[in-house]
Amino acid sequence: MSGIEGRVALVTGGSRGIGAAVARTLAAQGADIAINYHANREAAEAVAAEVRALGRKAGIYQADVTIEADCAAMAAAVAGDLGPVGILVNNAGVGSVSEGQPPIATMSDDQLQRLLNAHVFGPLHLCRLLMPAMRELGRGDVIMVSSVAAQGYGPRMGVYAIAKAGMEAMAYTLAKEERQHGIRVNVVAPGLVETDMGKLLMSFTRGVGDMRQLDANMPFGFVCQPEDIANAIAFLCSDEGRYITNQRLTVNGGGF
């Protein structure tokens, strides 16, 4: 797909799972990649090596996206190393299992705040920091990686669904505000994906240790792979997606 070559993409949570797949996919289509990671430097370095093997520039940037000062330092470093960010993929997140999936009636403020920090305030920090330079590029793309949890609203998923719904509300509003500057803002909402987070969720909720046990009951006979999400994101950022903004693309095989 055209429209990605030569652009700079910042992928949060880019050291593994969906983020790593996004980094590889955008690099294969010609983007230089800023890989954000929180703790796993070795994994981030491995993804950067894959990007460079594709002939593109790559940098790794340690930052806790919930901390605005970390985001500011990362944004400045990326601009200095690679240039202005034209594609922002807000992928870093925290799963519901990390808080034990509390029911709404017993959920603590702290439990909800931790997920709001990751899924709302992290993307908000980066949008505020990167938007001024992105407006000058002619085209910009912001992708919020949400979840079908903000559509299904299942029991014990409230702490996660509330945070992801907030992320989506921010995306839809931002899309309308920034369209005049050539910036597209879209949401990609995965269902179950074979990532560390997905495996942890299945272990916690179903006692499943091997994702292959789930394939037969999944749409099309397999659990969604990180590359399936990455391909959807790349489409939205390409010339083929140039007239798409303020939309949610659900990638879950047609049902959750």
Provide the annotated active-site residues.
160
What residues have CB less than 8 Å from 74, skipping those under 6 apart?
Answer: 10, 34, 36, 61, 62, 63
Q: Dihedral of the CA atoms 24, 28, 33, 37 (nearest 10)?
A: 0
Burial 152-172 (b: 16+ CB within 10 A, else e): eeeeebbbbbbbbbbbbebbb
Find, among 176, 179, 159, 171, the residue nearest to 97 by Cα.
Answer: 159
CA distance 108 to 226: 31
Please say whether the dihedral angle defined by the alpha carbons of residues 118, 211, 225 and 61, taken in this order, is positive or negative. Answer: positive
What's the DSSP call for residue 193? B
CA distance 144 to 120: 10
Q: Determine the angle formed by the axes of helices 226-237 and 17-28, rounding to 10 degrees.
A: 50
Distances from the Cα of 241 to the Cαs of 133, 175, 204, 228, in angstroms?
Answer: 21, 14, 37, 16
Find, among 176, 93, 178, 202, the residue nearest to 128 by Cα.
Answer: 178
